[in-house]
Structure 1
Amino acid sequence: MEFKSAEEYADGDGFFYLLIEKKDGDAKFKTTAQEICDLYGKERNRYELQSEKDGTKEVVKYEQKYDYEYIRFNLTFL
């Protein structure tokens, strides 16, 4: 499992990425993604996303809408 931040200070490009690879099979998953404010815990922009194959990994790409520091991914493996 690999996570890439959207934040510029972490070399991000404005998108959060979650990548999952499984050695002995398919790692297909869906997720609910939601941005979370680091100061107040306020939640915004809840989206359902489906993973897509990228080489040997499954990936979801979520565009950061607000300048919130955190994102939560709730995963369901298919």
Structure 2
Amino acid sequence: MRRGLWFAAGAGAGVYAMVRGRRAAEILTADGLQDRLGAVALGARMFRDEVAQGRADAETEVRARLGVPSHETKQLERGNN
């Protein structure tokens, strides 16, 4: 029974190492690196957009709380005069 257990453990470790090795090799190829860099760029763009949206929402909230007209309201008033 012990030999079978150690054989199964060794075979499992070998399969695990082989799968991890293939993943590492795929990551280090030109296509794999390009995919990773593309994902980082997309994540940075999404983060930038979220921060800009949050800043705009916060500005609108603060302007409403203080009773200050927004930039759009000022431009509309100038256009009508």
TM-score with structure 2 setting the length: 0.15
TM-score with structure 1 setting the length: 0.15
Q: Which has the higher helix share?
A: 2
Which of structures 1 and 2 has the larger relative contact order (alpha carbons within 8 angstroms, sep 6+)? 1
Q: Which has the higher strand share?
A: 1
